[in-house]
Amino acid sequence: KAGVTQTPRYLIKTRGQQVTLSCSPISGHRSVSWYQQTPGQGLQFLFEYFSETQRNKGNFPGRFSGRQFSNSRSEMNVSTLELGDSALYLCASMLEPSLYNEQFFGPGTRLTVL
Amino acid sequence: GESVGLHLPTLSVQEGDNSIINCAYSNSASDYFIWYKQESGKGPQFIIDIRSNMDKRQGQRVTVLLNKTVKHLSLQIAATQPGDSAVYFCAENAGGTSYGKLTFGQGTILTVHP
């Protein structure tokens, strides 16, 4: 069974631009969560989607948004990029939102903002 | 302003030694705890989990201990191998409606010397 895939793996943007990152969950998984990983703040939760609906949101500005499609694939978008948005963006999928279900992480998208 | 990077705790051991990695969690209401391993260039990988109604759980070469009184979690790795070198994160899930939201600790860098 294929794991979580994220595209692109690497991305370089300039301040003020916007970016869209894509995540394909493990086949059959319907819940997708996004995390930001930086040296300064560590791993921080961005948001979670299930059945095309955002279930939870972390403490990030409105420039960060996401969506989920009917096939469970998810995208996240960051508008008006800032230097501080440079990070590894990780997507994780889960069979369904349940307390003891394991989250499986993708390899991440490394975003560099110049 | 300039962001200060996290100074991750480090643990350096010899191959064959036992390793103990510690984690203090923040939410006394958390119901579920997970240890992840992250190798360079990869996303976090599940190692072992434990529910709040347990105080110990064993896997293959790994044991997780949970002390809810002091909100402390530890990961013990037996007969540590060079392939165990990675950053280790504890994560907690508060449950409720937050099934897809994990709160991560800062991480510990484990280096295993042959």
Determine, for residues B99 and A97 on separate chains, whether the beta-carbon distance falls below 8 Å: yes
Exposure b/e, B66-98, CB count within 10 A at least 16 = b? beeeeeebebbbeebeeebbbbbbbbbbbbeeb
Q: Which of A97, A100, A106 sits opposite B43 (nearest CB)?
A: A106
Tell me which H or E stretch contains B6: none
| Residue B2: per-residue pLDDT | 37
Distance from CA of B50 to the nearest CA of A (A): 9
Distance from CA of A114 to the nearest CA of B (A): 16
In chain A, the residue whose alpha carbon lies closest to the alpha carbon of B5 is A40
Determine the length of chain A: 114
Asked if residues B72 and B24 have their Cβ atoms less than 8 Å apart, the reply is: yes
Asked if residues B7 and B106 have their Cβ atoms less than 8 Å apart, the reply is: no
| Residue A1: per-residue pLDDT | 67
B6 has a pLDDT exceeding 70: no
B3 has a pLDDT exceeding 70: no
Distance from CA of A96 to the nearest CA of B (A): 9
Asked if residues A37 and A104 have their Cβ atoms less than 8 Å apart, the reply is: no
Token output for B5? 């990077």
d(CA A15, CA B32): 39
Distance from CA of B75 to the nearest CA of A (A): 18
B4 has a pLDDT exceeding 50: no
Selected residue of A105, A109, A113 to mutate for chain B interface (largest B Cβ count, 10 A): A105
| Residue B71: per-residue pLDDT | 93
- Residue ranges of chain B whose CB lies within 8 Å of a chain A CB: 3-6, 31-32, 34, 36, 41-46, 49, 51, 89, 91, 93, 95, 97-107
| Residue B1: per-residue pLDDT | 36
pLDDT digits 0-9 by tens, B9-64: 999 999 999 999 999 998 888 889 999 999 999 999 999 999 999 999 999 999 99
Determine, for residues A40 and B6 on separate chains, whether the beta-carbon distance falls below 8 Å: yes
B110 has a pLDDT exceeding 90: yes
Q: Given pLDDT bands bounded at 50, 70 and 90, which one contains residue B94?
A: confident
Exposure b/e, A59-78, CB count within 10 A at least 16 = b? ebeeebbbebeeebbbbbeb
d(CA B7, CA B14): 22
Residues of chain A predicted below pLDDT 70: 1
DSSP string, A51-98: TTEEEEE-S--TTEEEEE-TTS-EEEEE-S--GGG-EEEEEEEESSS-
Chain A environment of B93 (Cβ under 8 Å): 99
Determine, for residues B100 and A104 on separate chains, whether the beta-carbon distance falls below 8 Å: no
Asked if residues B107 and B89 have their Cβ atoms less than 8 Å apart, the reply is: yes
